[in-house]
């Protein structure tokens, strides 16, 4: 009898240990996904298990995708607070607007914006049904939207399929997945729950917004969005061509203007991770080189007029004068004028980063990743 009790006690302790391990793996996997270190549940849980366990982990010890998703949502509630609710509402309105534009392709909203399980950096996911890609991109072109097309090959159960994704860059980024028209009524399964995914047609999304966000008028909200100018689209249009703008290797051994700008942005993010205006100046300080290389400061400021704050504009306007200041070639009056500015210290920091951001082969983010970071800061500042 004593032996039986001991066996039962050991089993109970083992079960408690297994439960704690499972929870710890779910927590770590969720952290990796919330911080965008990993994007796939399978990879996140395997990496989390490897970090937490010395030996082999049994499949039964690994948390389900649903457990990790719930933990990700807990992170979002703690870190994003009320801003998350407002963000979800705005994302749903943006989704509705694009779904109306793409109505001929029978769009269906899926994913976190549909279920409400959004977190920092979430995309808006739509399924579209068209036998050809070109009509979809033509509709996006007509709206003046920027996008990239990705053909992704997936092999599952020995079968290889190619999926077409269109990544639309807007106030909120979209991922459109294009399926054949005859799959419009196909029941897609969730990788998280294994059940049929939740999805909404245009009409169903209108009803969802009216039910869960009764404080807004849908038509007024969409009209407001249509009138608003998205500065990030313009920033992207100005930054992308800089990849082809070469610089004098004597002063810029790192190469093209875009690579230099991204280096300066990365350094600025390390220096001032929450200073949106400073980060914008770091990223955009040389956009004028793609317009007028002989007077890139004036050209850049003209292109950015009305889209950046006076502080950001001042930093960009004076970043070349700061070079002369550092070199000791700037006149007395101009030196004194810079020194009297409240932003003088920040200008000198930007100047230093501009000089340091000239390393060949340095690791940098992409233009879209930089803009996503700035957009997230912008959203957070609006809901504080």
- pLDDT tens string 135-190: 999 999 998 888 999 998 887 777 888 899 999 988 889 999 999 999 999 998 87
Q: What is the pLDDT of residue 14?
A: 46
Q: What is the pLDDT of residue 159?
A: 82
Whether residue 153 sits in one domain with residue 101: yes
Q: What is the pLDDT of residue 52?
A: 77
Other residues' Cβ atoms within 10 Å of the Cβ of residue 358: 17
Q: Give the CATH number, domain containing residue 343.
A: 1.10.3210.10
Which of 179, 199, 227 lies at the terminal end of a domain, its last residue?
Answer: 227
- pLDDT tens string 205-223: 999 999 999 999 999 999 9
Instruction: Find the range with the poorest average confidence among 7-11, 76-80, 148-152, 342-346.
Output: 7-11
pLDDT of 285 over the 80 cut: yes
- Per residue, what are the HEC states of the chain? CHHHHHHHHHHHHHHHHHHHHHHHHHHHHHHHHHCCCCCCHHHHHHHHHHHHCCCCCCHHHCCCHHHHHHHHHHHHHHHHCHHHHHHHHHHHHHHHHHHHHCHHHCCEEEHHHHHCCCCCCCCEEEEEECCCCHHHHHHHHHCCCEEEEEEEEEEECCEEEEEEEEEEECCCCEEEEEECHHHCCCCCECCCCCCECCCECHHHHHHHHHHHCCCCCHHHHHHHHHHCCCHHHHHHHHHHHHHHCCCCCCCCCCCCHHHHHHHHHHHHHHHCCCCHHHHHHHHHCCHHHHCCCCCHHHHHHHHHCCCCCHHHHHHHHHHHHHHHHHHCCCCHHHHHHHHHCCCHHHHHHHHHHHHHCCCCCCCCCCHHHHHHHHHHHHHHHHCC
User: Quick one: average pLDDT of 263-281?
Assistant: 95
Whether residue 105 sits in one domain with residue 69: no
Flag whether 59 is in a domain. no
- pLDDT tens string 230-241: 899 899 999 999
Alpha-carbon span 91 to 172, nearest angstrom: 7
Q: Structural domain of residue 126, as residue ranges?
A: 82-227
Flag whether 249 is in a domain. yes
Q: What is the pLDDT of residue 45?
A: 75
Q: What is the pLDDT of residue 83?
A: 66
Q: What is the pLDDT of residue 332?
A: 93
pLDDT of 129 over the 80 cut: yes
Whether residue 371 sits in one domain with residue 245: yes
Whether residue 235 sits in one domain with residue 216: no
Whether residue 165 sits in one domain with residue 96: yes
Q: What is the pLDDT of residue 59?
A: 72
Q: Give the CATH number, domain containing residue 221.
A: 3.30.460
Q: How confident is the model at residue 376 (pLDDT cuts 50, 70, 90)?
A: confident
Whether residue 377 sits in one domain with residue 235: yes
- pLDDT tens string 302-338: 999 999 999 999 999 999 999 999 999 999 999 999 9
- Please give the mean pLDDT across all residues of the chain: 86
Flag whether 125 is in a domain. yes
Closest CA to 180 of 128, 251, 139: 128
Q: What is the pLDDT of residue 295?
A: 95
**Distance, C-alpha 182 to centroid of its chain:** 32
Whether residue 254 sits in one domain with residue 114: no
Sign of the four-CA dihedral 276, 365, 80, 115: positive
Q: What is the pLDDT of residue 12?
A: 46
Which of 177, 209, 227 lies at the terminal end of a domain, its last residue?
Answer: 227
> Quick one: what percent of the chain has pLDDT higher than 90?
59
Q: What is the pLDDT of residue 87?
A: 85
Closest CA to 117 of 167, 168, 80: 80
Whether residue 253 sits in one domain with residue 218: no
Flag whether 1 is in a domain. no
Instruction: Find the range with the poorest average confidence among 32-41, 330-339, 370-379.
Output: 32-41
- pLDDT tens string 55-110: 677 777 788 887 877 777 676 666 555 667 788 999 999 999 999 999 999 999 99
Whether residue 104 sits in one domain with residue 75: no
pLDDT of 287 over the 70 cut: yes
Which residues make beta-bridge pairs with 159?
156
Say which residue, 202 or 8, is predicted with more confidence: 202
Q: What is the pLDDT of residue 17?
A: 62
Whether residue 361 sits in one domain with residue 310: yes
Query: What is the maximum alpha-carbon separation in the chain?
Result: 95
Which of 227, 246, 280 lies at the terminal end of a domain, its last residue?
Answer: 227
Whether residue 219 sits in one domain with residue 304: no
Domain count, the chain: 3
Whether residue 155 sits in one domain with residue 180: yes
Alpha-carbon span 280 to 312, nearest angstrom: 7
Q: What is the pLDDT of residue 75?
A: 67
Beta-sheet pairing, 124-129 with 146-156:
unpaired
Q: What is the pLDDT of residue 166?
A: 96
């Amino acid at each position: 009898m004593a032996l039986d009790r001991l066996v039962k006690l050991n089993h109970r302790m083992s079960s408690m240990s297994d439960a704690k391990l499972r929870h710890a793996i779910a927590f770590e996997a969720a952290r990796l996904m919330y911080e965008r270190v990993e994007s796939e549940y399978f990879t996140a849980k395997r990496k989390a298990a490897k970090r937490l366990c010395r030996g082999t982990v049994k499949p039964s010890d690994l948390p389900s995708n649903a457990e990790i998703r719930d933990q990700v949502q807990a992170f979002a509630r703690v870190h994003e607070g009320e801003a998350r609710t407002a963000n979800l509402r705005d994302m749903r309105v943006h989704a509705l607007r694009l779904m109306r534009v793409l109505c001929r392709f029978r769009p269906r909203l899926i994913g976190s914006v549909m279920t409400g399980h959004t977190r920092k950096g979430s995309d808006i996911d739509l399924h579209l049904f068209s036998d050809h890609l070109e009509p979809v991109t033509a509709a996006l072109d007509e709206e003046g939207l920027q996008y990239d097309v990705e053909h992704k090959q997936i092999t599952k159960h020995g079968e290889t399929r190619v999926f077409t994704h269109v990544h639309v860059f807007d106030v909120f980024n979209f991922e459109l997945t294009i399926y054949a028209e005859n799959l419009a009524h196909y029941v897609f399964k969730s990788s998280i729950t294994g059940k049929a995914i939740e999805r909404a047609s245009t009409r169903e999304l209108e009803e969802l917004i009216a039910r869960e966000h009764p404080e807004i008028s849908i038509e007024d909200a969409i009209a407001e969005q249509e009138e608003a100018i998205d500065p990030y689209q313009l920033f992207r249009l100005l930054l992308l061509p800089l990849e082809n703008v070469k610089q004098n290797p004597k002063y810029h051994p790192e190469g093209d203007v875009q690579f230099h700008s991204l280096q300066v942005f990365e350094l600025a993010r390390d220096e001032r991770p929450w200073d949106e205006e400073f980060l914008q100046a770091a990223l955009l300080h040389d956009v004028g080189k793609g317009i007028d290389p002989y007077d890139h400061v004036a050209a850049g400021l003209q292109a950015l007029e009305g889209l950046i704050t006076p502080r950001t504009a001042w930093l960009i306007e004076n970043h070349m004068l700061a070079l002369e200041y550092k070199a000791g070639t700037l006149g007395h009056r101009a030196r004194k004028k810079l020194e009297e500015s409240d932003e003088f210290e920040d200008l000198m920091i930007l100047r230093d980063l501009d000089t340091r951001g000239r390393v060949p082969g340095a690791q940098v983010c992409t233009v879209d990743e930089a803009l996503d970071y700035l957009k997230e800061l912008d959203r957070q500042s609006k809901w504080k």
